[in-house]
């Protein structure tokens, strides 16, 4: 599995626990075992060191999906949509 490196991004070690956002917006604590599933979660940006960071990411994803829906359905002009100043990951450390 190829690892897409990003500077200063936490990558769990074998045996560490991390948090992922799963179906129904549930946050689940799992153990890192160097599996393809672990690396897929990390590469996708769905691998968080603590529950608090995962909750903030979940809130941001909810906003992003709402924006996507608005833009696809042309229900408002782009200038009428509020976008957060900084992405959640810039404040997560």
Distance in angstroms (rounded) separating the CA atoms of residues 78 and 81: 6
- Contact by Cβ (8 Å): 36, 63: no
Distance CA 3, CA 16 (A): 17
Q: Tens-of-pLDDT digits for all 93 residues of the chain?
A: 656 555 578 999 999 999 999 988 899 999 999 999 999 999 999 999 999 999 999 999 999 988 888 888 875 555 555 555 555 555 544
At residue 38, the pLDDT reads 97
* Among 70, 55, 68, 61, CA closest to 20: 55
- Rounded CA-CA distance 72/57 in Å is 22
Q: Which one-letter DSSP state was computed for residue 16?
A: -
| Segments making up each domain of the chain, as ranges | 17-91
Query: What pLDDT, on a 0 to 100 scale, did the predictor assign at position 25?
Result: 86
């Amino acid at each position: 599995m190829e690892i897409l490196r990003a500077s200063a991004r936490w990558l769990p070690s074998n045996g560490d626990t991390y948090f992922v956002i799963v179906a129904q917006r549930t946050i689940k604590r799992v153990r890192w075992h160097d599996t393809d599933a672990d690396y897929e979660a990390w590469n996708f940006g769905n691998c968080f060191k603590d529950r608090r960071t995962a909750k903030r990411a979940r809130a941001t994803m909810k906003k992003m999906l709402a924006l996507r829906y608005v833009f696809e359905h042309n229900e408002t002009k782009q200038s009428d949509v509020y976008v957060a100043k900084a992405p959640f990951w810039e404040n997560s450390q």
